[in-house]
Amino acid sequence: MSFLRLRNISKRFDGDTLALNGLTLELPKGQLLGLIGESGSGKSTLLRVAAGLETQDTGEVFLGDMAILNPSQKLVAGYDQIQLVHQQFNLYPHSTVEENIRRPLLLYDKSYAQDRTEYLLEAFSLGSMRKRLPRELSGGQQQKVAIAKALSVEPEVLLFDEPFSHLDPLQKRQLLEEVRDALNELQITGIWVTHDLNDALMLTSQVGVLHTGTLVQYGAAEELLKQPQSRYVAELFSPLNPLPGSQDLFLRPMAIHFSQASEGIKGRVKSCRFLPFFNQLTVSLEDVALDWTVFDNGRGFREGDQVYLKFSGEDVMSLPK
């Protein structure tokens, strides 16, 4: 059963920019959705509407049976049940890690507050840093504290607005794994917004794609990869190679294989780039004056080499513009 429901949400700023365009999204309890969208696609607006922090023009938000009221309907905007974690850390600079996590629990029973704090310090591997001030932590560690702090009041839903976007890639990869494990253990229902598909895939296999205020596709990552409903979604996962003589038919580099001379399509390696898991080749198909991007997993070919390529018809994707 879906738990967080956004129904037909539209939002226009200044009577001009259409930030959200009739967006409908349903999130089952316990699911973490990775929501991918380029800058300006409406990601932050979507999260703010979902949290009751922004007034939408049309549509409704529900958490279970409860209607989420927007700031024009509710005196104090927002809900404890729905926590938003921002790019900015939002930590108290003069309080320790432990105090920051416990702070939202000031009005709660003391022993409950302490137990919950201990539990979160443990879940996010922050125990050894409990006495440090935010400025004594790296950016990534501060962001972990911010997430633990948002979880202290046991929210029903956690919304993440690109919390790791400013971290360097190495630091980010490890943190994403740690946070994924913690969120899985806590069975968090949430939306993790990012402009980076790889970040989303590190966290969850359920992804949605937001494009100019519309949720263009939503489902298992594998489904989006194999059955993209638009060229836009398809291109998020890999370059696309057009089939000779066609406007709408494409092949992914992963679907193109090397073959024996004479049985494949003839091409010449125009350039070869060394990437971590394979070499990326640009191959010109000599007979049709077309360049294809091809992955060479065996790193066997060099610039200038002649190659023969083959593919299977079932890997051809039809993607009308």
Q: How many angstroms separate the Cα of 115 from the Cα of each of 5, 98, 107, 144?
A: 32, 12, 14, 18
- Asked if 228 interacts with ligand ADP (CB under 6 A), we say no
**Sole window of 28-36, 37-45, 70-78, 304-312 interacting with ligand ADP (rule: CB under 6 A):** 37-45
Minimum CB separation from ligand ADP for residue 88, in Å? 14
Our finding on whether 166 is near ligand ADP (CB under 6 A) is no
**CA distances from residue 268 to 220, 242, 246, 260 in whole angstroms, order as listed:** 36, 17, 21, 14
Q: How far is the CB of 161 from Mg ion (least distance, A)?
A: 6
Nearest distance in Å: CB 184, ligand ADP: 26
Give the DSSP H/E element, type plus range, for residue 22.
Answer: strand 17-28
206 binds ligand ADP (CB under 6 A): no
Distance in Å, CB of 12 to Mg ion, minimum: 17
Interaction of residue 208 with ligand ADP, rule CB under 6 A: no
For the residues of 131-173, what is the DSSP string, one character each? T--GGGS-HHHHHHHHHHHHHTT--SEEEEESTTTTS-HHHHH
| Maximum C-alpha span of the chain | 77
Partner touching 13 among ligand ADP, Mg ion, none, CB below 5 to 8 Å by kind: ligand ADP
Size of the site for ligand ADP (CB under 6 A): 12
Q: Which residue is nearest to Mg ion (CB)?
A: 44
Least distance from ligand ADP to the Cβ atom of residue 256, Å = 33
Candidates 11-19, 22-30, 56-64, 166-174 — which segment interacts with ligand ADP by CB under 6 A? 11-19
Report the DSSP beta bridge partners of residue 267: 285, 307
How many whole angstroms separate alpha carbon 188 and alpha carbon 64? 15
Residues pairing with 34 in the sheet: 192, 207
What contacts 122, CB < 8 A, 6 or more positions away?
A: none
In angstroms, rounded to a whole number, what is the distance separating the alpha carbons of residues 39 and 26? 23
Residue (83 or 279) nearer to Mg ion, CB: 83
What residues from 31 to 70 belong to the interface with Mg ion (CB under 5 A)?
43-44
Closest separation in Å from C-beta 39 to ligand ADP: 4
Interface with ligand ADP, residue 127, by CB under 6 A: no
Q: Which of residues 41-80 bind ligand ADP (CB under 6 A)?
A: 41-45
In 7-135, alpha helices (H): 43-50, 97-102, 110-123
Separation of alpha carbons 128 and 188, rounded Å = 24
Q: Which does 83 bind (CB under 5 to 8 A by kind): Mg ion, ligand ADP, none?
A: none
**83 binding Mg ion? (CB under 5 A):** no
Mention every residue, 6+ apart, whose C-beta is less than 8 A from residue 130: 96, 97, 98, 121
Interacting residue with ligand ADP among 1, 14, 247, 274 (CB under 6 A): 14
CB of 50 to ligand ADP, least distance (A): 12
State how far the Cα of 113 lies from the Cα of 160, in Å rounded to an integer. Answer: 23
Where along the sequence are the contacts to ligand ADP (CB under 6 A)? 13-14, 17, 19, 37, 39-45
Where along the sequence are the contacts to Mg ion (CB under 5 A)? 43-44
